[in-house]
Structure 1
């Protein structure tokens, strides 16, 4: 097996908070870094997906769940970063631990308010 994970960021579309507030028929889960945070009218995904939280504060505190399994139809929170726009990352298994270590080191050095893109 060459790859165990595919980054699906390219399939996510930013959805402004005000747009979510204005929605009237909210029936699909809207996932953030801490799990389902809202309901929305539309969905982007209709498949089983493993979601890994990118919230730096959550990585350090370890008080909240970091990994979720989303099933059915749902939407995933996304704020587009100009530096990483359109990039898809596919990584082999042995890079996972290094990736998590680098994320934790970055959070310790730069704080939790900065975006973390995996």
Structure 2
């Protein structure tokens, strides 16, 4: 099995220019149904969107870049918006974005993170990350095996959260 080494800049396109930072006050005036993503996932729901389709969001800043308590790469699909705390990645013929999501969440990225008080993964550092990729065909096969398991884990985690919330309500 042959793996090739690439810099991230060689296998993805970045759509950071379409991100939009909005204050809590601005978001309050624009409530809606479209997810508004930050570094660690959905932070709000707004009345319009700037992205359509499947994108990989990678945290740009925050303590989680060092602690890895949550995934730093998250999947966004459908119609949504992204703030300036997450990089927006699009795939290419060389790279399955879901495969890249799994890969980035398992990598040690500390060499690419700067900032002593507020960890940051700059656009330049992100694009310089070196990754080893198998053929696109093999990436697709790996994703087709992992994704159903990942979907089940997500569903069970969500169910567990609902059960925990119900327990808190019943205990009150």
Which structure ranks higher in relative contact order (CA pairs < 8 Å, sequence separation ≥ 6)?
A: 1
Q: C-alpha distance in 2, partners of 1:68/1:55? A: 14
Q: Which of 72, 76, 79 matches 1:73? A: 79
Question: How many positions carry a matched residue from both structures?
Answer: 97
Task: Give the alignment's TM-score, normalised by structure 2.
Answer: 0.48
Q: C-alpha distance in 1, partners of 2:120/2:110? A: 15
Question: Is 1:57 the counterpart of 2:63 in the alignment?
Answer: yes
Runs of at least 5 residues in structure 2 that lack an aligned partner in the other structure? 1-5, 86-94, 96-103, 124-172
Q: Which of 97, 111, 116 matches 2:117? A: 111
Deviations 1:69-94 (A, max 9, x none): 11100000127xxxxxxxxxxxxx9x
Counterpart of 2:112 in structure 1 is: 102
Bigger Rg, which one: 2
Change (3 A) 1:60 1:115: closer
Secondary structure at the counterpart of residue 3 of structure 1: helix
Counterpart of 2:19 in structure 1 is: 12
Could you list the structure 1 runs, at least 4 aligned residues long, displaced by more than 4 angstroms after superposition: none
The structure that is helix-richer by fraction is 2
* Cα-Cα RMSD: 2.8
